[in-house]
Amino acid sequence: MSDPKLTTLGHDETGAGTVTPPAEESADVAGTQNSLWSDAWRQLRRNVLFWIGATLGLLFVLIALFPKVFARGADPRDCSLSLSGQAPSAEHWFGFDQQGCDYMANVAFGARNSLIIGLLAVAVILVLGVLVGALSGFFGGLVDSLLSRVADIFYALPLILGALVVLRSGFLGRGVVAVAIALAAFGWMTAMRLVRSQVIAVKSSDYVAAARAMGASNSRILVRHILPNAVAPVLVYATITVGVLIAAEATLTFLGVGLQRPAISWGLQIDAGQRLLRTAPHLVLFPSLILTMTVMAFVMMGDALRDALDPRQRS
């Protein structure tokens, strides 16, 4: 380990108020990362918007995991046409839909699909983005030009349009996995660009040069030294993107190419409700409200995370 690294490490550790002796080769990255995260956490804890977002996010996850609790005992498929379109009441907080089903139960049961699609699509995006971005940034040259051009091509097609065409062609099917994959296929480029630029920045740094001089292999350098640096911006991006993708799923489903009945989805509820906007506005209102709060949860958490992880933003 070279001296400059030790100095940097010592400095950062002092700043973070902890002392950890450098133990092994990658301690430099680990060290700066540790202080970055502990600084970020200190920053996050004081951010009101973060706590609002985290609370909403937690609520959403709980609804997705235990919809029955939030349905207040009602079964979303136990319907009675005589109750069709009834307005909210003390007994049934969200009222009834056109089929006379308890609407709160329906909205609660809709959370699970949104969560699964959001998380699954983000997972696929991260795998694609990190893989392509790391390859592109690390090898540079022709590989980089080629992969960057491919990303540009996908960028030229809007997310909703691309997913619309793929889903309509029908070869993926119309389930939860199909929607997630269609969204990921047209949403991986930003993650790729983030990882790529981080890799390029770190690749030329002194400590990577030092590791290379010590005879570390390409894959070791990539995994131990470069990727940890890309974690912060990718995490911010991923958090916000979960929200964006949940909204996109609702939109695709609303447009008739996403989930289909009998699946329960906020997009389907909004689609059905819009025709009754004049007589039963609550049918659009409640799924819209919960959808918006869910998206907001992720946007707020991501925003707060970005502020906390970007030292330049601190005054």
Partner 1 sequence: MGRYVARRLLLTIPVLFGASFLIFAMVYALPGDPIRALGGDRPLAPAVVAQLKEQYNLNDPLGVQYLKYLGNLAQGDFGTDFRGRPVLETISQRLPITIKLTVVAIAIEAVIGIIAGVLAGIRRNSFFDNVVLVSTTLVVSIPILVLAFVAQFVFGLKLGLFPISGAQEGWYSFILPGLVLASGSLAYVARLTRTSVAENMRADYVRTARAKGLPNRTVVVRHTLRNSLIPVITFVGADIGTLLGGAIVTESVFNLPGIGRAIFDAVRAQEGAVVVGIVTLMVFFFIFFNLVVDVLYAVLDPRIRYE
User: How many alpha carbons fall within 13 Å on the CB side of residue 216?
Assistant: 20
Report in angstroms how near the CB of residue 283 gets to partner 1 at its nearest: 10
Identity of the residue numbered 126: L
Instruction: Provide CB contacts within 8 A for 258, sequence distance 6+.
Output: 167, 174, 179, 249, 250, 251, 252, 265, 267
Contact set for partner 1, span 287-306 (CB under 8 A): 288, 291-292, 295-296, 299-300, 303
Q: Helix 282-309 vs helix 227-254: angle between axes, to the nearest 10 degrees? A: 170
Instruction: State the DSSP string of 62-86.
Output: HHHH-HHHHTTT--TT---GGGTTP
Contact 26, 34 (CB under 8 A): no
CA 61 to chain centre: 13
- Interface pick for partner 1 out of 17, 73, 91, 149 (rule CB under 8 A): 149
Residues 48 and 65: their CA atoms lie apart, in Å, by 26
**Applying CB under 8 A, what is the total number of residues that bind partner 1?**
42
Using the minimum distance from each CB to partner 1, give the nearer residue, 62 or 277.
277
251 binds partner 1 (CB under 8 A): yes
Angle at Cα 186 formed by Cα 249 and Cα 116, nearest 5°?
A: 35
Instruction: State the DSSP string of 142-159.
Output: HHHHHHHHHHHHHHTS-H
Contact 211, 217 (CB under 8 A): no
Using the minimum distance from each CB to partner 1, give the nearer residue, 208 or 257.
257
Using the minimum distance from each CB to partner 1, give the nearer residue, 222 or 252.
252
- Interface pick for partner 1 out of 23, 142, 156, 213 (rule CB under 8 A): 156
- Interface pick for partner 1 out of 166, 180, 184, 280 (rule CB under 8 A): 166
- Interface pick for partner 1 out of 74, 270, 305, 308 (rule CB under 8 A): 270
- Interface pick for partner 1 out of 21, 219, 278, 314 (rule CB under 8 A): 278
154 binds partner 1 (CB under 8 A): yes
Report in angstroms how near the CB of residue 290 gets to partner 1 at its nearest: 10
Contact 31, 5 (CB under 8 A): no
Give the range of 19-27, 187-195, 210-218, 276-284 binding partner 1 by CB under 8 A. Answer: 276-284
250 binds partner 1 (CB under 8 A): yes
Using the minimum distance from each CB to partner 1, give the nearer residue, 35 or 294.
294
Contact set for partner 1, span 167-196 (CB under 8 A): 168-171
User: How many alpha carbons fall within 13 Å on the CB side of residue 282?
Assistant: 18
In the stretch 20-59, what mask flags binding to partner 1 with x, by CB under 8 A? -----------------------------x----------
Name the DSSP class of 223: I
Give the range of 24-32, 69-77, 131-139, 281-289 binding partner 1 by CB under 8 A. Answer: 281-289
Q: For residue 278, report the phi and psi dihedrals to the nearest 5 degrees.
A: -75, -40
Using the minimum distance from each CB to partner 1, give the nearer residue, 202 or 240.
240
Residues in contact with partner 1 by CB under 8 A are 49, 149-150, 152-154, 156-158, 160-162, 164-166, 168-171, 243, 247, 250-251, 254-257, 267, 270, 274, 277-278, 281, 284, 288, 291-292, 295-296, 299-300, 303
